[in-house]
Amino acid sequence: MKVRFGLVLLLLQATVAFCQEKFLPEIKKGITLTYQVSAQGQLFPVLMKIDSIGPEYSRFNWSMSDGTSGYVINTKPSLENAIRGYWGNLNNGEDQTMPQDQTIIVASKALWNAIQKDKKFTLDDQQFIVKDQPADAIFKLNSKPVNVVYAETANAGVRVWFLNNQAAPIMLKIEGNPAGVDIFLQSID
């Protein structure tokens, strides 16, 4: 009887583990990322359609419900070495190139390497430690847990989620951002 009960428990655990397999969405040209942005007490959606994404260059066509739109560009130097996120205004009708020390939405290669090798990194002068996601903060899309890299500052005041994808480490969420801009990816279409 004990053996049967043990086997049932083992099968139950295996079933639960299988059901909790994490979703890893494909990130490629043409995909639209819909973010909720919280800035200066306002909450608004921003759509970021991928025009180009790769290790040398990425370009996103952004748009908002008020009709404003433009492009944001991460160049090779920013994709290689940036240690800051871009949290400023998006310029309507322009191709806006990120400074070399900043990226928008994508983690730089240097940042990603630190995440993978050291399990800690610096972003916007904040020290982050890679950890398991807290049970109350599992990142999901369409009710499916997403395969993410989760990190937080020592006091857990700032928390960040990146898609666990070396080729496209998209920032999915940041909360407690000292720059005053929090983002949350709502959908990938």
Please, where are the H alpha helices in the chain?
2-19, 76-81, 109-118
pLDDT band at 65 (very low <50, low <70, confident <90, very high): very high
Q: 176: domain range?
A: 25-188
- Does 15 reside within a domain? no
Q: What is the mean pLDDT of residues 93-101?
A: 97
Q: What per-residue confidence (pLDDT) applies to 4?
A: 47
| CA distances, 67 to each of 98, 141, 150, 154 (Å) | 22, 26, 33, 40
Minimal CA–CA distance to 87: which of 112, 118, 123?
Answer: 123
- Residue given tokens 């857990």 in the structure block: 156
Q: Find the CATH number of the domain harbouring 146.
A: 2.50.20
Asked whether the predicted pLDDT for residue 49 surpasses 60, the reply is yes
pTM for this one? 0.87
Instruction: Answer yes or no: is 2 within a domain.
Output: no
Q: Which of 127, 135, 136 is nearest to 157 (CA)?
A: 127
How many domains, the chain? 1
Dist. CA 161–CA 170, nearest whole Å = 9
- Predicted confidence at residue 17, as pLDDT, reads 41
Q: Are 66 and 42 in contact (CB under 8 A)?
A: no
| Residue 17: inside a domain | no
**Token pair of 51, please?**
């025009």
Which of helix, strand or coil describes residue 151?
A: strand
Q: Would you say 169 and 30 are in contact if contact means Cβ atoms under 8 Å apart?
A: no
CA 35, CA 24: separation in Å to the nearest integer?
17
Rounded mean pLDDT, 4-27: 54
Average pLDDT of the residues of the chain? 90
In a domain, residue 65? The reply is yes
d(CA 106, CA 41): 24
For residues 136-153, average pLDDT? 96
